[in-house]
Structures are given as structure tokens and as C-alpha cells.
Structure 1
Amino acid sequence: MMSRKQHLKSNKIALEMDISVKMVEKYISRALKTLRTELAEYTGIILCFIFNIL
């Protein structure tokens, strides 16, 4: 994601991609929701690695 990896603001992304700022925000929101949903089942494993419980 350009907003996370390249630290770009929504308006800058919108200019580069020639889309509206609202559309950029919608895409970012949708992507984050998908990531949360898909990674939810791995929360326990991720926390174990973070806290070196395994």
C-alpha cells in the first residue's frame, strides 16, 4: 500500500493514480478490512511470536 510503504497521503495517491481522494480512502479501508478478516484466525500464533511464547 502506497500510504503505508511510501508514507503518502491520500491526496498524493489520488493525484498519482488519477482518482478521487474518496476512492483512495475507500480502497485503503477495504484493503485493511480484508487483511483484518483474513488474518483474524492467526491472531494467537502472531501474538505467540511477538511475545516469544512458542
Structure 2
Amino acid sequence: MNFRLPVAVVIADFSAHGEKFTELAFEHSRHAGVRFVHSDADALRWLYEKAAQ
């Protein structure tokens, strides 16, 4: 966050890590700098969009 670099965290099944983690991943679905996604393709798509801004 200090360097303002976008970070995409790829985790196939959020619920496998518990209810609180699933809530955290959902909350970050609107975060400007950190995004939890389900696949590499989703991560790359979001990172490319961030780079184009």
C-alpha cells in the first residue's frame, strides 16, 4: 500500500479459508489497490485495467 502498487491475490475458493476470510475478500472487491480473484486470468485482467488508468 505504501508504494501504491496494485496487488491481485489469486485464491480459487475463498470459503475454504473460513467465513471471515470470505468476508475480507468480498470487502476488497471494491478496494482500489488490493483485489482477491478466483483465477490468474481475472488477476491479469484487473491489473491491466489498473495500469491503463
TM-score using structure 2 length? 0.37
Highest RCO, 1 vs 2 (Cα 8 Å, sep ≥ 6): 2
Task: Report which of the two has the higher share of helix.
Answer: 1
Higher radius of gyration, 1 or 2: 1
